[in-house]
């Protein structure tokens, strides 16, 4: 178990904007930072980070919290894992007590798979670097490919011996469960006979560990070193609980910072392409690992930059196959450029044959817009064939139709018309047909879904005998009180109270009374006076925590609530604290819409919260009395109803409202 002193030290040192900046491209926005949500597919930033409050909020999903909760949400870490990650980042020594056997047994399967994968990475790398067999075979191969030892170390490259069960025996001897060796695909188990037979999946291969965005080992790619035509040249880990090939980009862990810094990502095909580029000084490079590009992979890059440069081999057939990925990138609202290498060259071989300056110069000079690239690639085939040329034009317009931004689409149409020497009007007409066709299809699907939803709501309404659900005013008002306590609880301000008095003619009236008090004390005393209990359980628990702080320290300490062991309380507090940041996202001031500063109307805000809560409770009391009379068919107590009604009118008068 990690000691509380270590946890406290981590919270003291960790900066939420630095931690999240490892995974999301953040841009300064006033005193905060904003960026694209790492949890949803969006094009307009709804993700906010507050360095002052040391919290974050994703307005698209409602998630929020501190640096720890971000790592738990984004990387699926457990609480101890998140602490360890931060401790490593900030060079904090971890103090911990011995874990009990029971605690070890409670580790979930996912975590066990990560542990097995980390052991495999370390074992394969150690074999490569420190065993005679590994250096003679595996390390020699990598050095023949031109990889330096520092790069081999950085990418954790390894070697699996050409023996049936060398790795499996080593893992079992270290106490790792065969169940997890099997579920990660590191070991193949064949059942039958006296006992099951166990084999190393990557026998006789050099190993490329595949990292998550935070550096955890998800799986492996292994390249065979023999000329066995029956065996696959490259072999990947099978799909598992922790490894999903379509949602991973090789090299992203090492490239993420440079991608954000350069505001561009180079996309290649294979492991060695990435490593060769990285070694040549082009570090903002990732690979789809030989698979067709997927929307999930594109979204990973989209968190860091809006710009992708796709690098193609000189092989024409391979280029055509890869062109399909361009439309997917365009659909995500990203900017695409293309670089192709000379015939017979690929990114790996080109990087090795040229200096860093030559490589960077080539990438800059040969970078083409996707339209120019498609035209130059396919025009040769079309030549003087009008039918083929028309097909090429339709192909390009189809790509343009994928772009979500209307202005960008128009610019590309104009460019296409110039290059292809064709009327803009014809292209716009074709584009409109494609967009309308897609919109019609989506509209039909949306209408069907909406119709089904409406029918279901009508059925539910008839079944329950209820109309539209009433807004729970009590919940809204209780949350408002918690919000005021969190944001302004420690402030001391001037209050105005309206006291019930009788004038000289004996008529009731309200008299103004001024006094000074802290916001938290004002709310607490009023709630205590009326013996009000919160109806919402989470608000009640949060309120008790706030009252406990006031009794102990005579002030509210927000940090303790953000770090609260009850994640529901922590989440509620974070959401409330970050709600004000949504005005920054909207850029209202730029649109000349100005929001009144809450501090200027704080006394009224506090008083209204108390009076409105009393009003709603009285309304519920009257409703309860009337319902009780109706159910029991009893004689109504008119005096009791009259007293509550008069009290309700008085509250409305205090709120400057008219009944």
Whether 427 is in a domain gets the answer yes
Average pLDDT over residues 106-132: 91
pLDDT of 386? 84
Same domain? For 117 and 65 the reply is no
Residue 565 covered by a domain: no
Average pLDDT over residues 534-560: 86
Using an 8 Å Cβ cutoff, are 548 and 554 in contact? no
Q: Indicate whether 574 belongs to any domain.
A: no
**Higher pLDDT residue, 17 or 389?**
17
Please state the rounded mean pLDDT for residues 633-657: 61
Higher pLDDT, 523 or 283: 283
Which two three-digit tokens encode residue 606?
């506090």
Q: Which two tokens stand for residue 29?
A: 């926005």
Q: Give the span between the Cα atoms of 480 and 474, in whole angstroms.
A: 10
Is 571 part of any domain? no
Average predicted confidence (pLDDT) for the chain: 83
Asked whether residue 359 is assigned to any structural domain, the reply reads yes
> Is residue 322's pLDDT more than 50?
yes
| Confidence bin at 360 (pLDDT 50/70/90) | very high
Residues 6 or more apart whose Cβ sits within 8 Å of residue 354 = 280, 362
**What integer is the mean pLDDT of 468-481?**
74
Query: Is-contact 532 539, C-beta < 8 A?
Result: no
Does 38 share its domain with 170?
no
What b/e sequence results for 345-363 when a residue is b if at least 16 CB atoms lie within 10 Å of its CB, and e otherwise? bbbbbbbeeeeeeebeebb
Same domain, 546 and 637: yes
Q: What is the pLDDT of residue 635?
A: 63
Q: HSE-up of 123 (CA within 13 Å, CB side)?
A: 22
Do 68 and 82 touch, CB atoms closer than 8 A?
yes
Q: Based on the fold, state whether residues 83 and 154 are members of the same structural domain.
A: no
How high is the pLDDT of residue 584? 57
Asked if residue 598 has pLDDT above 70, the reply is no
Residue 527's domain spans which residues? Answer: 473-556+596-654
Q: What angle do CA 244, 245, 249 make, to 5 degrees?
A: 115
Q: Terminus-to-terminus CA distance in the chain, angstroms?
A: 61
Domain limit, last residue, from 209, 243, 277: 243
Residues 150 and 277 in one domain: no
Query: Could you give the residue ranges of the DSSP H alpha helices within 465-589?
Result: 473-488, 519-529, 537-553, 558-562, 567-578, 582-586
Q: How does pLDDT run across 201-241, given as a tens digit for each residue?
A: 999 999 999 999 888 999 999 999 988 888 889 999 999 99
- Same domain (yes/no): 239, 321: no
Q: Answer yes or no: pTM beyond 0.75.
A: no
Compare 98 and 522 and report the one with higher pLDDT.
522
Give the Å distances, CA to CA, from 320 to 81, 317, 323, 373. 44, 5, 5, 11
Supply the CATH number for residue 121's domain.
Answer: 3.90.980.10
The CATH number of whichever domain residue 397 belongs to comes to 3.40.1360.10
- For CA atoms 45, 259, 402, 422, the dihedral sign is positive
Domain boundary pick from 225, 243, 261: 243
Provide mean pLDDT across the span 88-93.
Answer: 91
Cβ-contact 500, 622 below 8 angstroms = no
Domains contained in the chain, number? 4
Residues 6+ apart with CB under 8 A from 520: 485, 489, 490, 546, 550, 555, 556
Tell me, yes or no, whether 238 and 339 share the same domain. Answer: no
Asked if the model's pLDDT at residue 109 lies above 80, the reply is yes
CA–CA distance, 78 with 68 (Å, rounded to integer): 9
Please state at what angle helix 324-331 crosses helix 386-401, rounded to 10 degrees.
Answer: 30
- Looking at residue 465, its pLDDT comes to 42
How far apart are alpha carbons 444 and 438 in whole angstroms? 10
Query: Alpha-carbon Rg of the chain, whole angstroms?
Result: 33
Within-domain flag for 13: yes
More confident residue, 538 or 100: 538
Q: How many CB atoms are located within 10 Å of the residue 16 CB?
A: 21
d(CA 18, CA 14): 8
Give yes or no: residues 45 and 190 share one domain.
Answer: no
Assess whether pLDDT exceeds 60 at residue 466: no
Q: What is the CATH number of the domain that holds 59?
A: 3.90.580.10
The answer to the question of residue 135 being in a domain is: yes
- Claim to verify: residue 72 and residue 199 sit in the same structural domain: no
pLDDT at 139 over 60: yes
Sorting pLDDT into bands at 50, 70 and 90, what band is 365? very high
Kindly state the tokens that stand for 228.
């066995």
Across 331-356, average pLDDT:
92
Query: Nearest-CA neighbor of 70 among 32, 118, 110, 21?
Result: 21
> Are residues 192 and 302 both part of a single domain?
no
Do 177 and 281 have their domain in common?
A: no
453 pLDDT higher than 50: no
Which of 380, 408, 435 is at the close of a domain?
435
**Are the beta carbons of 482 and 539 closer than 8 angstroms?**
yes
Residue 377 counted as domain residue? yes
One domain for residues 34 and 179 = no
Antiparallel, parallel or unpaired: β 335-340 and 307-312: parallel
Tell me the per-residue pLDDT of 254-271, one tens digit each, with 9 for 90 and over.
998 888 888 899 999 899
- The first and second tokens of residue 524, run together, are 């607490």
- The single-letter DSSP state of residue 96 is B
Report yes or no: 85 and 78 within 8 Å, Cβ to Cβ.
no
Tokens at residue 398, please? Answer: 């189809």
Please give the Cα distance from 245 to 239 (Å, whole number). Answer: 7
- Residue 65 structure tokens: 């919290």
**304 by DSSP, 3-state: which?**
coil
Angle value at C-alpha 146, between 140 and 147, nearest 5 degrees:
80
Lowest mean pLDDT among 147-156, 544-553, 637-646: 637-646
Phi, psi of 495 (to 5 degrees): -110, 155
pLDDT mean over 578-589 = 61
Most confident of the following: 54-63, 236-245, 534-543, 648-657: 236-245
CA dihedral 264, 268, 271, 277 (to 10 degrees): -60
Does 470 have pLDDT greater than 50? no
Return the higher-pLDDT residue of 421 and 309.
309
């Amino acid at each position: 178990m990690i000691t509380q002193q270590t946890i406290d030290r981590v919270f003291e040192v960790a900066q939420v904007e630095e931690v999240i900046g490892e995974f999301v491209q953040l841009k300064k926005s006033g005193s905060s930072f904003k960026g694209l949500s790492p949890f949803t597919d969006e094009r307009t930033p709804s993700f906010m980070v507050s360095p002052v409050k040391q919290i974050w909020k994703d307005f698209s999903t409602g998630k929020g919290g501190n640096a720890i909760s971000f790592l738990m949400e984004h990387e699926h870490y457990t609480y101890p894992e998140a602490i360890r990650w931060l401790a490593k980042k900030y060079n904090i020594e971890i103090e911990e007590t011995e874990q009990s056997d029971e605690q070890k047994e409670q580790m979930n399967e996912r975590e066990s798979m990560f542990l097995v994968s980390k052991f495999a990475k370390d074992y394969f790398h150690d074999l490569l670097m420190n065993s005679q067999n590994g250096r003679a075979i595996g390390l020699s191969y990598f050095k023949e490919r031109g990889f330096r030892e520092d790069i081999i170390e950085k990418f954790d490259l390894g070697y699996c011996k050409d023996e049936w069960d060398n790795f499996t025996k080593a893992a079992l001897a270290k106490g790792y469960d065969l169940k997890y060796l099997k579920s990660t695909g590191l070991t193949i188990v064949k059942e039958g006979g006296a006992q099951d037979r166990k084999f190393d999946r990557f026998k006789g291969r050099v190993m490329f560990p595949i990292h998550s965005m935070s550096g955890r080992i998800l799986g492996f790619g292994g390249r065979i070193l023999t000329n066995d035509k029956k065996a696959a040249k490259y072999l990947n880990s099978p799909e598992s609980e922790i490894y999903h090939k379509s949602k991973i980009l090789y090299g992203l862990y090492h490239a993420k910072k440079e991608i954000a810094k350069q505001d561009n990502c180079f996309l290649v095909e294979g492991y060695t392409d990435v490593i060769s580029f990285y070694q040549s000084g082009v570090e903002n490079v990732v690979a789809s690992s030989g698979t067709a590009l997927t929307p999930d992979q594109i979204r990973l890059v989209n968190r860091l930059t809006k710009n992708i440069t796709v690098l193609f081999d000189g092989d024409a057939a391979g280029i055509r196959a890869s062109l399909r990925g361009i439309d997917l990138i365009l659909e995500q609202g990203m900017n695409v450029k293309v670089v192709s290498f000379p015939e017979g060259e690929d990114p790996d071989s080109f990087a090795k044959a040229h200096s860093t300056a030559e490589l960077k110069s080539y990438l800059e000079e040969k970078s083409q817009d996707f339209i120019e690239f498609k035209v130059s690639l396919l025009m040769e085939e079309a030549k003087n064939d009008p039918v083929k040329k028309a097909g090429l034009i339709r192909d390009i317009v189809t790509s343009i139709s994928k772009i979500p931004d209307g202005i960008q689409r128009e610019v590309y149409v104009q460019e296409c018309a110039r290059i292809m020497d064709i009327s803009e009007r014809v292209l716009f007409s074709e584009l409109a047909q494609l967009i309308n066709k897609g919109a019609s299809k989506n509209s039909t699907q949306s209408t069907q879904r909406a119709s089904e939803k409406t029918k279901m709501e009508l059925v539910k309404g008839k079944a329950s005998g209820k109309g539209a659900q009433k807004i729970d005013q009590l919940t809204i008002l209780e949350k408002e009180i918690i919000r005021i306590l969190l944001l302004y609880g420690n402030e001391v301000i001037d209050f105005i109270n309206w006291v019930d008095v009788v004038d000289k003619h004996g008529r009731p009236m309200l008299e103004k009374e001024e006094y000074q008090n802290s916001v938290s004390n004002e709310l607490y005393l009023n709630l205590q006076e009326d013996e009000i209990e919160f109806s919402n359980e989470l608000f009640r628990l949060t309120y008790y925590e706030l009252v406990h702080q006031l009794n102990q320290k005579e002030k509210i300490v927000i940090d303790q609530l953000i770090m609260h062991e009850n994640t529901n309380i922590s989440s509620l507090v974070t959401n409330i604290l970050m709600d004000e940041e949504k005005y920054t996202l909207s850029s209202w001031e730029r649109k000349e819409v100005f929001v009144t500063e809450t501090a200027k109307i704080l006394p009224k805000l506090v008083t209204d919260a108390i009076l409105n809560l009393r009003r709603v409770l009285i309304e519920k009391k009257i409703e309860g009395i009337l319902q009780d009379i109706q159910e029991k068919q009893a004689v109504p107590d008119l005096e009791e109803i009259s007293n509550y009604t008069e009290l309700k009118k008085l509250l409305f008068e205090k709120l400057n409202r008219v009944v």
